[in-house]
Amino acid sequence: MCRLFALTSDTPQSPILALQALDIMKEGHDGSGVGLFLSGLGGTFEEMSDCPILSGIFTDKGLRRLDTFMLNTGFMTKHKLTIRVSKTPPPGIPNRDIYLIRAYEYPEHWDQYSEEEKHQRLLSLQLTLREMGQEKKDMIVFSFWPDVVMIKEIGDPITVAEHLKLDRNELKARVIMAQGRQNTNYAINLYACHPFFIQGISTMTNGENTAFIPIREYLQSRGFIGYKGYQSDSEVFTHILHYTVKQLGLPLEAYKHVITPLQDDALQNHPDNNFLMHLKNTCRSLIIDGPNCVIGCLPDKSLFMLQDRKKLRPGVVGGQPGFYCFSSEICGLDAAVPNRDKSKDFQPMHLDTAVVYADRKEVTLCRQTDPLPQVH
């Protein structure tokens, strides 16, 4: 199993807070890797929230190739955070040249594009850079999107944080998702490290997905360029969420009906039974097999947690207005929000999606037995 921790805050927080919570849960991850998703950025990046930010790891040669490529496509650097580290990293952490976080100005001719066209082109460029890096082994590209920074590395989370000096003001964020990895693959590949990301949507999972193959095949048949890669069976959770809200145009509350639909007898008594039966039949190939606990974030900064029907992976949500945390274990929540009202903590069960919407006023419980918004 892995360990997950996420927070959503009215004021930007340091990723160190999330990594310290992971460290409290250290018995649940083996130090083989850590992944961070940061959004609602503070510091200098907050002043350029509309500019796409490229996050990744580069060799010196790869950085030169990146500069040439971006110049040729018309992107100009607006701000960058270049992390160069010691050539003798701590044990367990690979020797890298550059960790790069760079905000770009759009090319002038992109002004003619709609927001949707820009989003498609940003994704296409990210995939192109990833392919370039895989070919030459000189670039690892995690994201290319406005107001998003992703950092991933092999090694113990706290050791990685100290090595990269992640306690920088520029890396403070209002939404942080962090995963401490338990290596279940034979080789460690950073593209297999959670959280996963596509077009403003991110998820991370504690569990396993034995239905991975039919889900992957269904997604790849949709004709969308971003449904590819799949170094981890958990990446499909991100893409199913994208498919649900972006391709099908459904609200977050429908996501659980796609991946863990109600049994037919329960659907008969549901107020949206006709719609949900149709959704279940048409998206049958996206039904997951668990156990899985999923934490995710939408482009509007809504943060959520859900469980599948097996409910064999822990998860708890708690906090106070303006600051809520999602954790694999209560001890992680205790470390981050020790003074909260613990009687209001919530542990989602198999019908639940626990959501903290962008206003961060409360934890909202969405049950699959409730009517769906905006489906009629």
- Placement of tokens 């790849």 in the chain: 220
Peptide bond into 52 cis (omega under 30): no
Token reading at 101: 């976080």
Q: In this prediction, what percent of the chain has a pLDDT beyond 70?
A: 95
* 108-154 per-position pLDDT tens digit: 999 999 999 999 999 999 999 999 999 999 999 999 999 999 999 99
For residue 347, give every residue at least 6 positions away whose Cβ sits within 8 Å of its Cβ, in sequence order, or none: 314, 315, 316, 317
- Cβ contact 49:42 at 8 Å: no
Crossing angle, helix 60-73 and helix 115-136, to 10 degrees? 150
Show the low-confidence residues of the chain (pLDDT under 50). 28-29, 185-186, 376
Separation of alpha carbons 300 and 358, rounded Å? 6
Compute the distance between CA of residue 245 and CA of residue 227 in angstroms, rounded to an integer: 15
Mode of pairing for the β-strands spanning 303-307 and 316-320: unpaired
C-alpha to C-alpha distance for 305 and 286, rounded to whole angstroms: 18
> Rounded distance, CA 261 to CA 174, Å?
32
Measure the CA–CA gap between 119 and 53, rounded to whole angstroms.
13
What is the identity of the amino acid at 254?
A
Q: Give the pTM.
A: 0.95
Domains located in the chain, CATH noted: 3-49+147-367 (3.60.20.10)
Angstrom CA distances, 76 to 52, 69, 70, 284, stand at 11, 11, 7, 44
In which region does residue 270 sit, left (phi positive, over 0), alpha (psi from -120 to 50) or beta (all else)? beta
Q: What is the DSSP letter of 346?
A: B
d(CA 87, CA 190): 20
Residue 310 pLDDT: 72
pLDDT, position 376: 44
Residues 105 and 68: their CA atoms lie apart, in Å, by 15
Give the span between the Cα atoms of 193 and 180, in whole angstroms.
9
Give the pLDDT confidence score for residue 94 in this predicted structure: 94
Q: What pLDDT is recorded for position 31?
A: 58
Sheet holding 3-13, edge to edge: 148-153, 34-41, 173-180, 3-13, 323-327, 316-320
User: Which of 246, 191, 182, 241 is closest to 215 using CA atoms?
Assistant: 241
Q: What is the pLDDT of residue 28?
A: 46
| Counts for the chain of helices (H) and strands (E), in that order | 11, 16
Supply the angle between the helices 157-164 and 15-24 in degrees, to the nearest 10: 150
pLDDT tens digits, 272-288? 999 999 999 999 999 99
- Reduce the DSSP state of residue 220 to 3 states and report it: helix
Residue pair 325/311 in contact by the 8 Å Cβ criterion: no
Residue 209's pLDDT is what? 86
| Rounded CA separation 15/172 (Å) | 6
pLDDT tens-digit map of 72-118: 999 999 999 999 998 899 998 999 999 999 999 999 999 999 999 99
User: SS3 for 211?
Assistant: coil
CA distance 54 to 63: 12
Give the pLDDT confidence score for residue 375 in this predicted structure: 55
| pLDDT attached to residue 291 | 84
Pick the closest to residue 179 from 201, 159, 198, 153 (CA basis).
Answer: 153
